[in-house]
Amino acid sequence: MSGMAGAGAEAEAEAEVKLLGFWSSPFVHRVIWALKLKGISYEYIEVERYNKSDLLLRSNPVYKKVPVLIHQGNPISESLIILQYIDETWPHNPLLPPDNHHRALARFWIHFGENSIACITDLFLRPCKEEQERASAKKKAEESIRVMEEQCLGDKKFFGGNNITMVDIVYGCLSHWLEGLEEIVGMKLIEPNKFPRLHMWIQNFKQVPVIKENLPDYGKLLLHLQSRTQEYVT
């Protein structure tokens, strides 16, 4: 084992960590960003959305979804759980605050973000049929965004402060992906004059090198999101 060539050791390290993903998934990208921020080598395995591989079905029999992280043969599912696993297994460049209170607070905002993101996504991908219901859903989404802007982000550059943390990673799909949906559906949710701080956060987030270098191609994403918006209608 000792004296192993650098390339061999790196290949072995990479084989130890596998990520099952789908190229357009924002949840998969959360995991990619965390792995990259920590400098962890991994093997990426693309899974087909409508033809799920045996490996995926074996690794995540409960939900049958990506992302799944496989580390030393052990599968971990659900992006938020994977993020915490990565942070605990590779503690350098921590993604959560060290003290218990702020960690609990970060978890609260992650949980809040996850629920809000689901509502926001539904607004675009599963719109209500009735005009009144749609208006009510939009209002609810805007209220969540207001809370994000005022209570979570406040005057900070990132949700984590001066640098991105797990909270920013979780909210990451409000950039790029939400922007894509807004363009396709023709409905702007995070308007710069309504939510200036969150709008700024989106610009800053996309400029972080690890994020900038690890986003799906925007044009390709638009086409994919276009077909997603039509799925529900048919």
Partner 1 sequence: MVEEAKVVLLGSGFSMFGMRAKIALAEKGIKYEYMEEDLANKSPLLQEMNPIHKKIPVLIHHGRPICESLIIVEYIDMVWPNNSPLLPSDPYHKAQARFWADFVDLKVYHASRRVWISKGDEQEVAKKDFLESLKQLEEFLGDKPYFGGDTFGFVDVALIPFYCWFYSYETFGNFKVEAECPKLISWAKRCMQRESVSETLADEKEVYEGILDYKDKFMLN
Structure tokens, 174 = 């409000």
**Element counts in the chain: helices (H) and strands (E):** 11, 4
Residue 59 binds partner 1, judged by CB under 8 A: no
Token pair 């979780």 is found at 170
- Rounded-to-integer distance, Cα 110 and Cα 73, Å: 28
Residue of 24, 25, 77, 175 interacting with partner 1 (CB under 8 A): 77
User: By C-beta, is 113 or 216 nearer to partner 1?
Assistant: 113
Establish if 159 lies at the interface with partner 1 (CB under 8 A). Answer: no
∠ Cα 88 98 199 (to 5°): 95
Among 17, 47, 76, 181, binds partner 1 (CB under 8 A): 76
Q: With contact defined as beta carbons under 8 Å apart, do 28 and 68 qualify? A: no
Neighbours of 98 (CB within 10 A): 8
Please answer whether residues 94 and 129 qualify as being in contact, where contact means their C-beta atoms are separated by less than 8 angstroms: no
Question: How many chain residues are in contact with partner 1, going by CB under 8 A?
Answer: 23
Task: Output the six-digit token pair for 196.
Answer: 């200036």
Among the candidate windows 18-26, 85-93, 162-170, 185-193, which touches partner 1 by CB under 8 A? 85-93
Minimum separation from the CB atom of position 85 to partner 1 (A) = 4
CB of 116 vs partner 1, minimal distance in Å: 11
- Least distance (Å) between residue 222 CB and partner 1: 30
Of 154, 159, 157, the residue nearest 169 (C-alpha): 159
**Does the footprint of partner 1 cover residue 51 (CB under 8 A)?**
no
Count of other CB atoms within 10 angstroms of residue 135: 11
Told to check if 121 binds partner 1 by CB under 8 A, we report no
Instruction: Answer left, alpha or beta for residue 178, where phi above 0 means left and psi between -120 and 50 means alpha.
Output: alpha
Per rule CB under 8 A, is residue 233 in the interface with partner 1? no
Task: Find the shortest distance in angstroms from Cβ 89 to partner 1.
Answer: 5
Q: Show contacts with partner 1 in window 169-208 (CB under 8 A).
A: none
Q: Which of residues 127-156 bind partner 1 (CB under 8 A)?
A: 147, 151
Q: Which residues bind partner 1 (CB under 8 A)?
A: 62, 71, 74, 76-78, 81-82, 84-85, 88-89, 100-101, 103-105, 107-108, 111-112, 147, 151
